[in-house]
Structure formats: structure tokens, C-alpha cells
Amino acid sequence: MWGAVSDNGDFQPWARGWRRVLLAAGMLVYPGITAASVHLTVSGAVAVAGYVLVAAFSIAYVAVMFAAARGIWQRVWTLLVVMTILFVAELWFTEIAAFYLCSVVVSVAVLPLRGRVFPLVAVGVAACLLVPVLVPSWHSGPGWTQAVMVLFTALVWYAFSEIARTNHSLVETRAEVARLASEAERNRIARDLHDLVGHSLTAITVKSNLARQLAANEQSPAVKEIAEVEQLARQALADVRAAVSGYRDVTLAGELARARELLRAAGIAADLPTATENVAPAAQELFGWVVREGVTNVVRHSRATSCTITVSGSRLEVRDDGHPSGAAEGNGIAGLRERAASARAVLEAGPTRPHGWRLRVSLEQAQPA
């Protein structure tokens, strides 16, 4: 159910929407088929035990869906083990019909084991075909129907998760493009203000100053007016420069967008966050400078193949897998230390084991004693 699985096992982007709920609820049909087959092989108290196992399996399945939605991965794996044990136990009660539960186990396991989906499905299909043959007391041949169910259901889940993952990547890309467009527009406005309005105000200021000097010896009200025009022009020019400086401020979102493009152009695999809302406004600029300096060093010096940036409300870290000797501390890092100190933060830079370099700024460690 929780499909758009990232490399770190993150199901959460797919854990939303009625389609996911519908697909997950539909899987309960398989335990229902198994339960309907209990009375065909056992009866009495033994049949009750068979029904209890199917009910427990269904509860574990629902629980694993909720655990995946909340990102509790240890519980996901624990519940998958429980479901597997219940499936194996149900074989004694419903024989070949228990393999419908195998379809559920394999399908759910496809999600976190996305890279090994085909070996996993092959094992499930082989079990459906071989186990009934190897147990003579069942008096049945290979479970072709169950094998088809395992294959079809697992592949549908895999395809659905891949589509959801692709859609999630498209949403991230669109958000990134929007950020880049916003930054480009900000820079264009800043450039226009500086080149057009700033130039005109500078000319007015110079000419007003010259006119005031030429008329300095005259006792005319015009001299006072010219002086006021000069003062207004200077103030307007200062305001424009302040506005331009504000437009050109370093922002964390803008630096992450630039970093993604820079790393992509350099052929370095990038694992960057897409959300920065949890970072305090006061830390946005500092974190942006750290991203700019860290990624610049990765591209210029590290000879890395991958770069990872992690960010939380009070900490940002830039890590690569390059050569530490190529990331020696220089003027850029020294400047960052000064910025961090002024923001009452701590900057750490150094090699990591077995190889690579880490640049980290932390606000939580910078509290005064």
C-alpha cells in the first residue's frame, strides 16, 4: 500500500489517497478466500483454530499498513515475520488454499524489497507449485491458481508503487522548477532595480549636487529646493540598494535548488531535502550559506560520486564520499565559522570514515553556558 519507496525505505509519500486505501483493502479478499476454505479440510475445534489464524493474519496485515503509513519500519518488518508465521501455520488447516495468504505476504514484502522483487516473487511462485506436490496427504497437484495469484498480485503492487514513486518525483521536480523560477524572477527584479532605477537616481543625485554647488552663492529659494531634491535622491538610492540586497539574500530553498543543478551538472549523485519549512527563519540564511560553500567544495575539490544534505529545524549537514585531502579548510570555511559564531551556532568540518567529508552547522549546540 505504501508505495513510493525511496532508497531509505520511506513509504510515506505513497501512504496518502483513496487509491492506496482501496488497493490495501482489496487485499483482504485473499484471507477471505482462505477462511472460506477452512471447512473443506477440517472441522470442529480444529476449524475454529483455522479461522482464528486467518483473523490474526488479517489483523497483522492491517497493522502493517498503519505501521508503514507512520514510518515505523521496525514494526513493519516484525509484522511481516508474524504474517509469514501465520501463513505457514495455516497450511496445516487449509492446505493449498493457505497460499492465498502467501500472495499477501509477498505483495507487502515487495515494497521495502523493491530492488529484489523478482527473486522474491519467484520464491513465492515456486512454493505454490512445489509444496503441494511434496505433501502427498494433500492429494493435489501444483497450485497453479495460487501461483498466478502470487505473481499477478505482487507485480501489480510493484507496478503501482513504481508509478506512485515516479509521480512523487515529478511533484518534487515541479516544486524545484517553481523555486528556480522564483529565484530567477527575484534576481531579474533586483537587476532591473539596480540597472535602471539605481542608475537614474545616481544621475539625479549627481546633477542635484552640481546644481546646488553652482547656486551656492545665490540667495534663492531654488537652492534650498535643489538641496532637498539631492537629499531625497540619495535616500531613494539607499532604499533601492537595500531592496536589491534583500532580493539577493541567500535563502536555503534557493541554495538547495542551485545545489541540485550544480551537482547534476558535475555528475554527482545528489540526495537533497525538498522541504525547508521546519527551519526557523533566523537560520535560513546561515543554512543557505553552508549549502553554498559545502556544495562548492564538493564539486571543486572532493572528487566525490555522491553528496547528501540533511536538514532539520536546528541542524544542517553536507556530506560527500570523496577524498578528505581535497576538502582542506580554507577561507570559505573560515568565513562560515564567523557567520555561524554571529548566529550563535557551531560549525563542524572534517573527514568521515572510511572516506568522505562532512560539513555541519548546529544551532542546538551553541547555547551559552
Secondary structure element (H or E) that encloses residue 318, with its range: strand 315-320
Lowest-confidence segment of 212-221, 311-320, 321-330 by average pLDDT = 321-330
Task: Determine the topology of domain 252-366 in CATH.
Answer: Heat Shock Protein 90 (3.30.565)
pLDDT over 50 (residue 234)? yes
37 vs 21 pLDDT, higher one: 37
- In the chain, where the domains are located: 12-171, 184-247, 252-366
Phi and psi torsions of 233, nearest 5°: -65, -40
Q: In this structure, what are the phi and psi dihedrals at residue 282, rounded to the nearest 5 degrees? A: -65, -25
Residue-level length of the chain: 369
pLDDT number for residue 172: 72
Its pTM stands at 0.50
How confident is the prediction for the chain on average, in pLDDT? 80
What's residue 308's pLDDT? 94
pLDDT band with cut points at 50, 70 and 90 for residue 239 = low
Angle between helical axes of 44-69 and 99-110 (0-180°, round to 10)? 10
Summarised one tens digit per residue, pLDDT across range 65-116 is 888 777 787 888 899 999 999 999 999 999 999 999 999 998 888 877 766 7
